[in-house]
């Protein structure tokens, strides 16, 4: 086969080029005005595939094309598009994304997901920018190319049937944990326990790749919020707004821990029996947590070692604010001052 016809598609992705390569094609023919994603251009160049635009778009769209266009422009989709734009502006104004970073999606049907486009600031999103993709990442409708990281969203949807929306962003305090390989401790603030709780951290892979997408699979079912190593965070929920809320809760929590760690006193924990009360509320709300079903004594783990970003309570503190074992006493301070003073006087006398 010398040429592979892709003129029925408005957007050409890397997987389309891969199909042409598999068919033994030396070139692909596109409709006029078709959008070729950067990854598709790279795949074509790597495989030696020529890209040719072969004329006007088909006069009448296929039945499948009409179906997806109708879904993309349905009343439900239009409502979700507006919500996605509103959430995008919140993320940008709160400095959770910069440049064209971050992405948002919503599962419209069993086999179609609405998502943000690539290379657009979340502050500048418009409803007309949204794309529709299937669960393999194939773009079904939309004038702009879909986000390159949609594959991660799709793995969450496939792993968690109850997930309806996914938000990925880079809030600085939460990302600070992600780039140090640590997760925030639990059993400290009630709101965090109920809405987020124990956070997972996935291993690093190159963003936008299938390997990167697959890193969230082991955690998605039991965690609605995941730290992405050296990258950012991803949250899922029943609505786009709720997924953004979880990002806010995590970021505020991480910022609060950082401030508390500078106060010089141990961070106190909520007692296990009270934590169980919070997990019971969480279970009634249908929010996942890896600790559901654990014994009380297993609930309040502190994964960070002493001296990490969040300082754990000292052993035996009983949850009370106590002086750290290594903190100097007034007598210690007086002795240190005297020792330094004596040393300075001795040095001055030696110079006479």
d(CA 99, CA 122): 8
d(CA 86, CA 102): 14
Can you read off the two tokens belonging to residue 283? 């279970």
Q: 131 pairs with which residues across the strands? A: 115
pLDDT of residue 48: 85
- Among candidate residues 270, 267, 275, the one with its CA nearest the CA of residue 313: 267
Query: 72 and 53 in one domain?
Result: no
Query: 126 and 47 in one domain?
Result: no
Whether 322 is in a domain gets the answer no
d(CA 93, CA 97): 8
Q: Sign of the C-alpha dihedral, residues 68, 69, 70, 73?
A: positive
Tens digit of pLDDT at every position of the chain (352 positions): 678 888 878 788 888 888 888 888 888 888 877 788 877 887 888 888 888 887 554 444 455 668 899 999 999 999 999 999 999 999 999 999 999 999 999 999 999 999 999 999 999 999 999 999 999 999 999 999 999 999 999 999 999 999 999 999 999 999 999 999 999 999 999 999 999 999 999 999 999 999 999 999 999 999 999 999 999 999 999 999 999 999 999 999 999 999 999 998 999 999 989 999 999 999 999 999 888 877 766 667 644 443 344 433 333 333 333 334 455 566 666 777 777 777 777 777 776 6
Alpha helices in the chain (DSSP H): 14-22, 38-47, 63-72, 75-93, 150-159, 172-180, 190-195, 210-214, 217-220, 240-260, 272-284, 330-351
Query: 104 and 49 in one domain?
Result: no
What CATH number has the domain bearing residue 141?
Answer: 3.40.225.10
**Residue 137 in contact with residue 150, Cβ under 8 Å?**
yes
Total number of domains constituting the chain: 2
Give the residue from 11, 44, 60 where a domain finishes: 60
Q: 52 pairs with which residues across the strands? A: 29
pLDDT of residue 316: 31
pLDDT of residue 83: 98
Q: 161 pairs with which residues across the strands? A: none
Residue 27: how many other CB atoms lie within 10 Å: 16
How, if at all, do strands 131-133 and 11-12 pair? unpaired
- Among candidate residues 13, 289, 6, the one with its CA nearest the CA of residue 132: 13
pLDDT of residue 63: 58
Query: 211 and 87 in one domain?
Result: yes
Give the position of tokens 């949609």: 150
Q: 141 pairs with which residues across the strands? A: 132
Query: 253 and 218 in one domain?
Result: yes
Apex 239 CA angle, 236 and 243, nearest 5: 40
d(CA 26, CA 272): 65
d(CA 303, CA 281): 24
Whether 50 is in a domain gets the answer yes
Query: 73 and 55 in one domain?
Result: no
Whether 256 is in a domain gets the answer yes
pLDDT of residue 60: 46
d(CA 135, CA 213): 12
Residue 348 contacts by C-beta under 8 Å, 6 or more apart in sequence? none
Give the residue from 202, 237, 260 where a domain finishes: 260
- Counted residue by residue, the chain has a size of 352
d(CA 227, CA 238): 19
Q: Residue 40 to residues 43, 144, 148, 230, 277: CA-CA distances in angstroms?
A: 5, 14, 11, 26, 51
Whether 18 is in a domain gets the answer yes
Query: Within 13 Å, how many C-alpha atoms sit on residue 70's CB side?
Result: 7
Catalytic annotation, residues: 149
Can you read off the two tokens belonging to residue 19? 């199909």
Query: 196 and 120 in one domain?
Result: yes
Query: 92 and 168 in one domain?
Result: yes
Query: 73 and 50 in one domain?
Result: no
Give the residue from 260, 280, 314 where a domain finishes: 260
- Domain of residue 14, residue span: 3-60
Whether 154 is in a domain gets the answer yes
Query: 82 and 38 in one domain?
Result: no
């Amino acid at each position: 086969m010398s040429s592979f016809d892709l003129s029925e598609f408005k957007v050409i992705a890397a997987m389309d080029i891969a199909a042409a390569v598999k068919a033994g094609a030396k070139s692909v023919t596109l409709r006029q005005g078709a959008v070729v994603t950067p990854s598709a251009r790279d795949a074509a160049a790597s495989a030696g595939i020529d890209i040719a635009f072969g004329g006007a778009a088909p006069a009448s769209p296929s039945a499948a094309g009409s179906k997806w266009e109708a879904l993309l422009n349905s009343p439900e989709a239009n409502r979700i598009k507006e919500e996605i734009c509103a959430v995008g502006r919140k993320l940008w104004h709160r400095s959770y994304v910069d440049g064209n970073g971050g992405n948002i999606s919503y599962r419209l049907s069993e086999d179609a997901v609405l998502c943000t486009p690539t290379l657009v600031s979340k502050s500048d999103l418009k409803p007309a920018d949204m794309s529709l993709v299937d669960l393999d990442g194939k773009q079904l409708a939309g004038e702009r190319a879909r986000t390159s990281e949609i594959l991660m969203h799709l793995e969450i949807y496939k792993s968690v049937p109850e997930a309806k929306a996914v938000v990925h962003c880079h809030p600085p305090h939460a990302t600070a944990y992600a780039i140090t390989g640590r997760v925030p401790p639990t059993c400290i603030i009630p709101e965090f326990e109920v809405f987020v709780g124990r956070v997972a951290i996935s291993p690093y892979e190159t963003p936008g790749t299938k390997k990167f997408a697959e890193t969230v699979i082991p955690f998605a079912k039991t965690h609605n919020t995941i730290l992405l190593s050296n990258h950012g965070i991803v949250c899922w929920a029943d609505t786009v707004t709720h997924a953004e809320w979880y990002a806010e809760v995590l970021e505020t929590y991480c910022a609060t821990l950082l401030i508390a760690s500078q106060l010089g006193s141990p961070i106190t924990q909520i007692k296990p029996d009270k934590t169980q009360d919070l997990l019971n509320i969480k279970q009634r709300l249908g929010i996942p947590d890896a600790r559901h079903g654990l014994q009380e004594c297993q609930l309040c783990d502190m994964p960070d070692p002493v001296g990490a970003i969040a300082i754990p309570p000292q052993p035996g503190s009983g949850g009370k604010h106590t002086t750290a074992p290594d903190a100097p006493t007034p007598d210690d301070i007086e002795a240190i001052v005297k020792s330094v003073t004596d040393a300075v006087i001795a040095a001055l006398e030696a110079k006479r």
